[in-house]
Amino acid sequence: MPDSTVTRWTPPWAAGQRHRRASARDRHRPRLPQVAVDGKTSRGARTRDRAAPHLLAALTCAGVVLAQCQVPGRSNGIAAFTGLLTPLDLADHVVTADAMQTQRKHARWLREVKEAHFVFPVLDNQPTLFDRLDALDWAGVPVTGRSVDDDRGRHEVRTVQVMPAPPDLNFPHVAQVFLIERAVTVKGRTSYQAMLYVTSLTAGQDDAADLLAYVRQHWGIEVLHWVRDVTFREDASRIRTGNAPRVMATLRNVSVSLLGIHDTTNIAAALRYNARNNSRILKLLQLQPA
């Protein structure tokens, strides 16, 4: 009799892990490791007599959270920047942040104390610096870096123009300044954005492709915030007592980081997969079940 046994094929990856397939995405990885800093407010933890806690986090471009701290009171997070990064060994790392952290004291501290580099965007919170960069002759600077992404009907083109920092810039440790322009086309409609940046990296320490990659990878921290809001429903959480909101945010960060270490791209699918069998969680933690 013919063998009636049916062999069920199982994929070599767990649910939510990255499928190794061809992609139009630019996979360039810059030369130096990167740490991204950004904050998120746990809106669901707001009470009648207390504002929602604002948490500042630092993570790698692989999505692993290295540190998190709560911003005291109604501070905007600038004062918490150095406290967050102090325990970390940042020598020969590139620190990226949003425009709020584009501060002279941060640039000095990163270069002189932590021996790290920075890539900071420049907006109107630094009006003198912005006007100085905006007045440069960008039309005469060639485009030296370009990336093209096609993903789910979204066509995105980024270009970068780089020049040495002007000698009278009045911002410490800046070696280069650069302009990134982005054109995004979705369903036939195109939007444009331009952003100015300063960096302590010299031309010998990076190239245009590296600068593009540092800026793009910084937005990985926004992915973490999105996962905490949408997948973990953080803003809908009713945990509001004491330090509990911060503790729960830390546990969510640990979960996302652990899955990220194992090359997971679909956090929701991975959570469902592991919830069905507790031994899978122990395997992720490299622990043997009793």
Return the H-helix or E-strand segment holding 287.
Answer: none
How many whole angstroms separate alpha carbon 250 and alpha carbon 210? 31
Q: With respect to residue 6, please indicate whether it lies within any of the assigned structural domains.
A: no
pLDDT in tens, 232-290: 776 667 666 667 776 777 788 777 777 877 777 788 888 888 888 877 877 777 776 55
pLDDT at 5 over 90: no
> C-alpha distances in angstroms, 21 versus 18, 62, 178, 259?
9, 19, 33, 19
The pLDDT score that the predictor gives to residue 280 is: 80
pLDDT in tens, 23-81: 434 468 888 999 999 877 765 555 566 666 678 889 887 778 888 887 776 566 788 89
How many whole angstroms separate alpha carbon 72 and alpha carbon 40? 13
The pLDDT score that the predictor gives to residue 203 is: 92
Q: With respect to residue 154, please indicate whether it lies within any of the assigned structural domains.
A: yes
Total Cβ atoms within 10 A of residue 197: 24
Contacts of 171 (CB under 8 A, 6+ apart): 104, 107, 129, 165, 198
pLDDT in tens, 74-117: 566 788 899 999 999 999 999 999 999 999 999 999 999 999 99
Burial group, residue 249, by CB count within 10 angstroms (0-12, 13-18, 19+): buried
Domain that holds residue 270: 34-284
Q: With respect to residue 5, please indicate whether it lies within any of the assigned structural domains.
A: no
DSSP 139: G
Q: pLDDT category, 12, cuts 50, 70, 90?
A: very low
The pLDDT score that the predictor gives to residue 236 is: 66
Q: For residue 154, what is the domain's CATH number? A: 3.90.350
Total Cβ atoms within 10 A of residue 255: 21
- The answer to whether 55 touches 71, Cβ cutoff 8 Å, is yes
Q: With respect to residue 11, please indicate whether it lies within any of the assigned structural domains.
A: no
Q: pLDDT category, 22, cuts 50, 70, 90?
A: very low
pTM over 0.85: no
Q: With respect to residue 25, please indicate whether it lies within any of the assigned structural domains.
A: no
Q: With respect to residue 181, please indicate whether it lies within any of the assigned structural domains.
A: yes
For residue 95, list its beta bridge partners: 35, 118
The pLDDT score that the predictor gives to residue 56 is: 86
Per the structure, the count of domains in the chain is: 1
